[in-house]
Structure 1
Amino acid sequence: MPEPMIEIEVVYAAVERQLLLTIAVPSGTTVRGAVKSSGIGEQFPELDLDSCPLGIFGKAVADPEGRQVLAGDRIEIYRPLLADPKEVRRLRAAKAALARARTSDS
């Protein structure tokens, strides 16, 4: 007897384009397995589907090799950060402090 199929979505947003695929996978498929079987790797060959961070509905999945998908899940493939958010905030705060110091000196 064949395994029951469930429908899920796989999404990826590159800088220049986005793609949302609706696919059917066998019940019991892992998050990583669903992404690999989705065919999204052919659309974005720069993706390393074996190690890229994944999430479901905006929440990171800590163990994509172990977590099974559920019907209706939207698996998101995350791009690496270009800059550390903490460092960006620190630089912005330093720039604002410098601007305040300049206006108070005037």
Structure 2
Amino acid sequence: MMQITLVYSPAPREVFEQALTLPAQATVRDAVLASALPARFPALDWAAMACGVWGRAVEWDQTLSEGDRVELCRPLTVDPKVARRERFRRQGARATGLFARRREGGKPGY
């Protein structure tokens, strides 16, 4: 038997975390099925989600080890590149970058 942790975040700042005891050679799919996740979130299509172990993407048939942390990732709502462009557009060129806050009378770049 081995101990693993299953983590899912249904919304920002909201986390479902459950510690599970599974038999040796259990897979990521076995962990989800053994958890309370399908019962707690019946409308969730967890099989279509991306899964990972300790932040690394893995397949559903990945074998787990003692102490693994299985993470289910919801899809991104906005492309990170697009979000960065929008943030830059709102802030403007003067408010962004490494040298945005210059001291009074300071040279450019310091």
TM tier, smaller = 0.7 to 0.9
Q: CA deviation at 1:40?
A: 1.1
Greater gyration radius: 2
Report the equivalent of 2:87.
Answer: 92
In 1: Cα distance, 2:91 partner to 2:17 partner: 39
Q: How many residues align?
A: 93
Report the equivalent of 2:75.
Answer: 80
In 2: Cα distance, 1:7 partner to 1:54 partner: 18
In 1: Cα distance, 2:71 partner to 2:42 partner: 16
Structure 1 gap segments, 5+ residues each: 101-106
- Percent identity, please: 37
Q: TM-score scaled by structure 1?
A: 0.75
Aligned partner letter, 1:49: W
Q: Where do 4+ consecutive residues of structure 1 move more than 6 Å?
A: none
Q: CA deviation at 1:52?
A: 1.0
Give the 5 Å matches for 1:26-45.
26-45=23-42
Greater RCO (Cα-Cα under 8 Å, separation 6 or more): 1
Structure 2 gap segments, 5+ residues each: 95-110
Superposition RMSD on alpha carbons, in Å?
Answer: 1.8
> Do the aligned residues in 2 keep the contact of 1:9 with 1:23 (CA within 8 Å)?
yes
Report the equivalent of 2:5.
Answer: 9
